[in-house]
Structure 1
């Protein structure tokens, strides 16, 4: 079949369709070679010029879910991050959890004094005598990338906080400012961050150490990745600060509170345990 046609990304941009990218995304879910080939063959037969990447994803996801809900949960990771909204608070807690499981001590939504004004910091992280301040930029819609204005703004806040910090005695050294987003940074934003000394973390940046890489490496999947929980149930759990699948693995209190049947609860717990395997 001829695959030399365009697909429409969530940003509206037209790009050439790539079978290799579809295979790679399925491979990241943990699907075996036979399953990947079967899904690619089925999806390929339904493609047409101008199809959206969302339609391709939905079809591949539906086929993968029929095969294994656990694999489908991993495949929908990017969408699951968007589902942490509509507010940015669950995403802040999610970023905090990733840092915590990377050896940091973390606090969320803290007020820090700057030289000029006070600042509400999304996440403060401590490790090995160093303190890091992190600003989280959450987007609930695909296609909205962080442009250079974001690191420009964060750099000025960090400079103000660091100026005051350095004027006082502390047990740790404040030496790093981070900007974390669930989407992507523009080239100008990345260039400015590198130049000014801000660490930028997005879905796929830095290469091989972006959000997706860290989540897969640590098996820290958000509760929204589950394909067995309903949207209402996920929102209930998020409202109780249950952000990670790990939060439910050894404590089914909230599932009992939701009145979930024993049969369904068993399936949900099994899916979650599979996602938490490292």
Structure 2
């Protein structure tokens, strides 16, 4: 059975991929089997991956809402759009929970020109600059032009840094972070040039989805109870993580949310942060 990806590419349907993604969401075996059987019964030639996702998500939301929130992780990051700024804040927050101190939008001098760096991070005496490439549309990948461009900016900043001899802070490798995937050429160039590439599923077992699951740092947009307007309000206040809302509940007061609904939302957030 062939299915159509968001990029338009036709591929063979993989039941094991569907099963694994459902298990990653925390759904129990009985629920996974139920969804897999239902999807399998409703498959047809040329069905889109979006339609398969929608059908699986609908069942999850009805049966096990927290698993539904985790299952929509990739889609939730797309909801950061249309600008890339919330994604930069999200990457910064993930790094901070991994022991880095960070600054977003830091202007740094290069040897030739100044550069506005998406995320400047420090840890263990090493400085790192991270450039973020956010796509708000599914099916778009980062081609080789992205690391090529970012590498040239990195080299300009590094040349100035080395000339100034910041002895107390070593200048480490440059990073490129994206919410989608890198093309094969982009990964080859990154490896050759010494850039650290971070995408949805790269590096293997340490990609964006792995880090989020491991650290429990889910974006606020995974919530199935908050409306799109409410999510955008929180993002505009730099609340990008469920963890942040857990400590800054007062933001919900500005949205005029009823006490009963607020309790349901906070219960969902607590479960996501503690699962």
- 1:203-258 superposed Cα distances (whole Å, 9 cap, x missing partner): 00000000000000010001000000000000011111111111111321111111
| Aligned residue in 2 for 1:67 | 63
SS of structure 2 residue aligned to 1:31: coil
| Aligned residue in 2 for 1:250 | 247
| Aligned residue in 1 for 2:162 | 166
Structure 1 CA distance for aligned equivalents of residues 95 and 108 of structure 2: 19
SS of structure 2 residue aligned to 1:184: coil
Alignment RMSD (CA, Å): 0.7
Structure 1 CA distance for aligned equivalents of residues 188 and 247 of structure 2: 43
- TM-score, normalised by the number of residues in structure 1: 0.97
| Aligned residue in 2 for 1:50 | 46
Structure 2 CA distance for aligned equivalents of residues 195 and 35 of structure 1: 44
| Aligned residue in 2 for 1:95 | 91
SS of structure 1 residue aligned to 2:214: helix
Q: After superposition, where does 1:3-152 map in structure 2 within 5 Å?
A: 5-152=1-148
| Aligned residue in 2 for 1:206 | 203
Residue 195 of structure 1 and its aligned partner are, at CA, apart by 0.4
Residue 277 of structure 1 and its aligned partner are, at CA, apart by 1.2
Structure 2 CA distance for aligned equivalents of residues 139 and 250 of structure 1: 29
| Comparing 252-261 and 76-85, the one that deviates more | 252-261
**Would you say 1:269 and 2:266 are equivalent positions?**
yes
Residue 39 of structure 1 and its aligned partner are, at CA, apart by 0.9
SS of structure 1 residue aligned to 2:164: coil
Q: Which runs of 4+ in 1 moved over 2 A?
A: none
Structure 1 CA distance for aligned equivalents of residues 63 and 118 of structure 2: 39
SS of structure 2 residue aligned to 1:102: coil
How many residue pairs are counted as aligned between the two chains? 274
- TM-score, normalised by the number of residues in structure 2: 0.98
Can you give the 5+ residue segments of structure 1 that lack an aligned partner in the other structure? none
